[in-house]
Amino acid sequence: MRAVTYREHGGLDVIEVGELPTLEPGPGQVRVKVAACAMNHLDVWVRRGIPGVKLEMPHIPGADIAGTIDAVGVGVSGWAVGAPVVVHPVLSCGRCRACAAGRDNECRHFGLVGEHARGGMAEYLLIAAGNVVAAPAGLPLAELAAIPTTFLTAWQMLVTKANVRPGETVLVLAAGSGVGVAGVQIARLLGAEVIAAASTDDKLARARELGAHHGINYATADLVAETRRITGKRGVDVVFEHVGAATWEKSILAAARGGRIVTCGSTSGHMAQTDLRHVFFRQLTIYGSTMGTKADLFDILDHVAKGRLKPVIDSQIGMSREAIVAAHERLEARGPFGKILVIPGT
């Protein structure tokens, strides 16, 4: 099979596209013929190397996959060859208390497809049968690859952690990113007034098309001052934070008294400074959040099937080295609005 691989961590020069053996599914596994694999900033981090994460080389990146069942292993029932599926990217033990409670993303053996194990940027993917979910009918299969990682992350942040309620105000940072466009849509679905923040007016215009009520260009305007102007000096009920050090202090100042800040990432750096006086005096709550559960993916796909949420595609590319390198460069420059889809066989 043709696949994107790394044989070592490093810069763009370590990216390869070549042939690897197509493996047969083992007991409890299915083989998925990949229709599309969506790229995430995670792919940049994995390529550079993540401290403490040791990978089998050559590594195949790619956490977000949609395709069709191509073969099933011994002991697998309920799946037929040709069935369209979306891959749940969370890897867990399935045996611990968190897994038994349906909180697979809290498993102490937590991992991600494409990060801790070989991913889907290839023609085929081997995965545990428990990690595939039936694709909703009537939607382009390739586009469904744009759903799992970012929508699961945003769903847990806004629904499970921050418990956003109708009428509240939510500030979504980096609203043009994959998780940002999911955050805008989910916040609007929950009945919130949505303030989108992004670095270009074009991204803000597109965020408004997804349901944002207001936009702040934080490259040309003061994020905190604009947030307070829009909210009548009150601040927002919820800050959807995933940028990290570059916005963390502003996120704290943008929150209203009794507000919540929920964070899932630190793209701009993880060593952020916190003025604790603002946290305790203004009674802020800070939530950390990583991915979401398989049950969340069922809920998300139900909303996608009904047209309430939609995958946002920046572009589709073939699986050539030149195209993959260019996509990494765009991700590093924070250029895409929505997802870049890699289409095997093109």
Distance between CA atoms of 28 and 72, rounded to whole angstroms?
A: 8
pLDDT band, residue 345 (cuts 50/70/90): confident
Nearest Cα to 193, choosing from 219, 217, 227, 233?
227
pLDDT band, residue 248 (cuts 50/70/90): confident
pLDDT at 229: 96
pLDDT at 53: 83
pLDDT at 83: 96
For residue 59, pLDDT beyond 90 = yes
Residue type at position 80:
A
Question: What is the rounded average pLDDT of the residues 252-256?
Answer: 96
For residue 187, pLDDT beyond 90 = yes
pLDDT band, residue 246 (cuts 50/70/90): confident
Per DSSP, the three-state class of 116 is coil
Averaged pLDDT score across all residues of the chain:
93
**58 preceded by cis ω (within 30°)?**
yes
CATH superfamily ID and name for 151-288:
Medium-chain alcohol dehydrogenases, catalytic domain (3.90.180.10)
pLDDT at 139: 87
pLDDT at 86: 97
CA quadruple 69, 71, 75, 79: dihedral sign = positive
For residue 268, pLDDT beyond 80 = no
pLDDT at 111: 92
Q: Given strand 214-217, what is the order of strands in its sheet? A: 214-217, 193-198, 169-172, 236-241, 255-263, 285-288
For residue 57, pLDDT beyond 80 = yes
pLDDT at 124: 97
For residue 300, pLDDT beyond 90 = yes
Question: What is the rounded average pLDDT of the residues 4-18?
Answer: 94
Query: What residues contact residue 124 under an 8 Å CB cut-off, 6+ apart?
Result: 1, 22, 23, 31, 32, 33, 34, 70
Distance between CA atoms of 230 and 214, rounded to whole angstroms?
A: 8
pLDDT band, residue 35 (cuts 50/70/90): very high
**255 contacts 235 by C-beta, under 8 angstroms:** yes
pLDDT at 245: 77
Residue type at position 319:
M
pLDDT at 346: 80
For residue 267, pLDDT beyond 80 = no
- The DSSP-derived string for 49-101 is --TT----SSB----EEEEEEEEE-TT--S--TT-EEEE--EE--S-SHHHHT
**301 contacts 133 by C-beta, under 8 angstroms:** yes
Per residue in 67-98, pLDDT (tens digit) is 999 999 999 999 999 999 999 999 999 899 99
pLDDT at 51: 84
| Annotation: CATH topology of 2-147+311-343 | Quinone Oxidoreductase; Chain A, domain 1 (3.90.180)
Distance between CA atoms of 75 and 161, rounded to whole angstroms?
A: 36
For residue 191, pLDDT beyond 90 = yes
Query: What residues contact residue 195 under an 8 Å CB cut-off, 6+ apart?
Result: 169, 170, 171, 172, 212, 213, 214, 215, 216, 227, 230, 236
Report the Cα 27 to chain-centroid distance in Å: 29
Q: Spell out the domain ranges in the chain.
A: 2-147+311-343, 151-288
Question: How would you class 56 by CB atoms within 10 Å of its CB: exposed for 0-12, middle for 13-18, buried for 19 or more?
Answer: exposed
Distance between CA atoms of 211 and 142, rounded to whole angstroms?
A: 24
pLDDT at 85: 97
